[in-house]
């Protein structure tokens, strides 16, 4: 059985507002259980998947955007000091 996290805990982990966590739930990016009309819990597996997806997307973008230049485009490094 997966662990259930409070919205506040998830907002602390993601370093974002609780409103943003609710937005992620409404967009289907995080899975949640509504315990009562004013009480929601986020599935930890869902949060882990969201974080891993963001990490892999960042790594892919980072690899694509930061390939070292080669050939005629390559410039020697200058010393700033």
Assess if residue 13 is contained within a domain: yes
Assess if residue 40 is contained within a domain: yes
Domain residues for 34? 1-51
Assess if residue 58 is contained within a domain: no
Report the chain's mean pLDDT, rounded to a whole number: 87
Domain total of the chain: 1
Report whether pLDDT(62) > 70.
yes
Assess if residue 77 is contained within a domain: no
Taking CB atoms within 8 Å and a gap of at least 24, the contacts of 30-38 are 33/4
pLDDT at res. 8:
98
- When pLDDT is averaged across residues 19-24 and rounded to a whole number, the result is 98
44, 1 contact by CB (below 8 A): no
pLDDT at res. 1:
74
**Is pLDDT larger for residue 75 or for residue 44?**
44
Assess if residue 32 is contained within a domain: yes
Assess if residue 75 is contained within a domain: no
Assess if residue 3 is contained within a domain: yes
Assess if residue 61 is contained within a domain: no
């Amino acid at each position: 059985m997966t662990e259930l996290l409070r919205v506040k805990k998830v907002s602390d982990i993601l370093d974002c507002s609780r409103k943003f966590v609710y937005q992620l739930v409404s967009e289907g990016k995080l899975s949640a259980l509504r315990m009562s009309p004013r009480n929601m819990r986020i599935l930890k597996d869902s949060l882990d998947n969201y974080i891993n997806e963001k990490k892999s997307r960042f790594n892919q973008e980072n690899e694509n955007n930061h390939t070292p230049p080669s050939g005629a485009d390559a410039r020697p490094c200058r010393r700033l000091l």
